[in-house]
């Protein structure tokens, strides 16, 4: 019982309840009202269950308290000693959650996103020796790094529509296979011509554009709403650890195998992942051969519909882009994704060069300073997801929760980048950078989860729209930083601009974001349930 009280909130496993008072609540009486057994034994109250003999103003709060889902399947009545069957879904214990098939699915998603970012950031490290070898300027280096984003710009909307129709498993498998091929062929492309290298980076971006919509689709199919923030936190932890691994391992591999070694190794790991994913996972829980009936029932009950009804539409329909774009919550998501992508890719692409040029540290040290923040982002990302789920389960609205998470995800980096701007040593700069990147992970429990809530029937398309806008912002930030530094001779002004944009985006999000479904197909105004 004590362990349940200590861990129940964070991991959604309410403590065991065996008191007569709580058993009475489960049988239909509210706190402060006589139980059915008490009425029959002492002769007070009405024998019928239709009236409690109390003023209506006391009944309404009692009914609201009864709306909370029961914590256990059965409990013992302290008065009569009988076991009473409870109705409604219960929360999974932490051990059940940890050993479930759905956690294995999200772990595979985390590995895919780790490969996604590792393949992406290798160029952030390789760009330093490549620029020296080919005589590239800072602005041209920014163009080479942004070539990935040219491809990423093309695929999210189409990829989101494909995910909505075919499901996340198939689209993710093709995505990983294609981006692993592009990574594997990068050494050959670089030795062939500059245009071939840029083409491989564009292909990498096209393939990676389906990763996040596919992840969101799989999470929405495999996890109830009360667990989705944590599931996204786990998957995105892999995303950030991929950045850290790519930045840390790439210089070591390069020192032993040459500048192109990491591209070959990471590409081969991607092919291996596809084989495991295709054989060990399924697109929906009901199709998984090893899932238990209790877990299948749990997912279906928490979603208030059988899992078997989660099917793709009969035909591909043109998404209602005009209706989606006419809603302010859609624009809140678009602006949030744009700002997150601007800050994320500027830091991801330029921090090794920043430490190398501003603090004169060598490439391996620069990689270490640049990698630490992504480890912090992985840790805080899961914490943000668990805290978000806890707030919703404790009665806070989804709208309030998403606004709190996203505000932290924007204000934290905005303030931290101002601190980075005045740092005098690489260790202090790394601390500020770690705070900026770590706190930005709260966005995963903000706009990233909110994409599934405001228009769930078009979640893939909405994700694609916001990702496309985010990619445009990322290209502007990545290329703009190079030109800004080349012309102004300093990163300072660009960091101040980025901080200002973070503050403006926070205000826009808090004014127009919502956790309710927006009116697209006639169903609107429903607050997303934590269950």
pLDDT, tens digit (0-9, with 9 covering 90-100), for 148-187: 888 887 777 787 778 878 888 899 999 999 999 999 998 8
Helix (H, G, I), strand (E, B) or coil at 319: coil
Residue 180's pLDDT is what? 94
pLDDT tens for 425-465 read 888 888 898 899 899 989 988 887 787 778 777 777 787 78
Residue spans of alpha helices (H) in 135-224: 138-154, 156-166, 168-184, 186-192, 194-208, 211-222
**What is the pLDDT at residue 377?**
83
Please tell me the predicted confidence (pLDDT) of residue 414: 95
Q: What residue ranges of the chain have pLDDT lower than 70?
A: 1-98, 138, 301-317, 362-371, 521-531
* Encoded tokens for 424: 């005098």
Query: What pLDDT score does 367 carry?
Result: 62
Look at residue 164 and give its three-state secondary structure: helix
Output the pTM of the full model.
0.62
Identify the pLDDT of residue 463.
77
Other Cβ atoms closer than 10 A to 235: 30
Instruction: Please give the C-alpha separations between residue 102 and each of 91, 298, 403, 443, in angstroms, as whole numbers.
Output: 15, 11, 27, 23
Neighbours of 135 (CB within 10 A): 7
| pLDDT for the residue numbered 315 | 55
Tell me, what's the pLDDT at 111? 92
- As beta bridge partners, residue 74 has 85
- pLDDT at position 409, please? 95
Three-state secondary structure call for residue 181: helix
Q: What is the pLDDT of residue 230?
A: 82
From residue 389, give the alpha-carbon distance in Å to each of 112, 221, 224, 257: 24, 17, 11, 45
The closest alpha carbon to 169, from 285, 18, 11, 270, belongs to 285
């Amino acid at each position: 019982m004590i362990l349940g009280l200590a861990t129940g909130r964070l991991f959604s496993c309410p403590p065991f309840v065996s008191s007569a008072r709580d058993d009475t609540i489960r049988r239909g009486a509210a706190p402060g009202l006589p139980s059915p057994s008490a009425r029959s034994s002492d002769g007070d109250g009405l024998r019928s269950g239709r009236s409690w003999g109390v003023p209506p103003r006391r009944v309404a709060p009692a009914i609201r308290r009864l709306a909370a889902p029961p914590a256990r399947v059965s409990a013992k009545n302290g008065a009569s000693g009988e076991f009473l069957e409870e109705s409604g879904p219960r929360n999974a214990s932490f051990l059940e959650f940890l050993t479930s098939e759905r956690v294995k699915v999200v772990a595979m998603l985390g590995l895919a996103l780790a490969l996604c970012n590792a393949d992406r950031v290798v160029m952030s490290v390789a760009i330093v020796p490549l620029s020296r070898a080919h005589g590239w300027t800072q602005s041209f280096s920014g163009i080479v790094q942004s070539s990935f984003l040219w491809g990423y710009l093309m695929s999210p909307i189409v990829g989101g529509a494909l995910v909505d129709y075919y499901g996340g498993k198939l689209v993710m498998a093709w995505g990983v296979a294609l981006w692993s091929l592009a990574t594997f062929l990068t050494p050959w492309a670089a030795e062939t011509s500059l245009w071939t290298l840029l083409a491989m980076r564009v292909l990498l971006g096209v393939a990676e554009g389906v990763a996040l919509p596919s992840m969101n689709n799989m999470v929405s199919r495999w996890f109830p709403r009360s667990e989705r923030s944590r599931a996204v936190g786990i998957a995105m932890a892999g995303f950030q650890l991929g950045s850290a691994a790519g930045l840390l391992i790439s210089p070591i591999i390069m020192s032993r195998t040459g500048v192109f070694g990491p591209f070959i190794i990471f590409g081969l790991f991607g092919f291996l992942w596809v084989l495991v994913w295709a054989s060990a996972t399924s697109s929906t829980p009901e199709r998984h051969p090893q899932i238990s009936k209790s877990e299948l029932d749990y997912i279906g009950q928490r979603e208030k519909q059988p899992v078997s009804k989660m099917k793709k539409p009969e035909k591909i329909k043109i998404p209602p882009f005009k209706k989606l774009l006419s809603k302010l919550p859609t624009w809140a998501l678009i602006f949030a994704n744009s700002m997150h992508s601007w800050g994320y890719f500027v830091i991801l692409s330029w921090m090794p060069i920043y430490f190398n040029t501003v603090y004169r540290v060598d490439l391996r040290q620069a990689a270490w300073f640049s990698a630490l923040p992504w480890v912090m982002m992985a840790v805080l990302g899961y914490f943000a997801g668990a805290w978000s789920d806890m707030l919703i389960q404790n009665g806070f609205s989804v709208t309030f929760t998403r606004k709190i998470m996203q505000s932290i995800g924007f204000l934290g980096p905005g303030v931290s980048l101002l601190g980075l701007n005045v740092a005098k040593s690489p260790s202090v700069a790394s601390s500020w950078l770690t705070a900026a990147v770590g706190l930005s992970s709260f966005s995963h429990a903000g706009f990233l989860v909110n994409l599934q809530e405001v228009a769930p029937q078009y979640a893939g398309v909405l994700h694609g729209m916001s990702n496309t806008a985010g990619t445009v912002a990322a290209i502007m930030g990545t290329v703009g930083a190079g030109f800004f530094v080349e012309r102004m001779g300093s990163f300072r002004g660009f960091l101040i601009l980025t901080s200002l944009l973070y503050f403006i985006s926070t205000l826009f999000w808090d004014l127009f974001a919502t956790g309710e479904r927006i009116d697209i197909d006639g169903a609107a105004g429903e607050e997303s349930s934590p269950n």
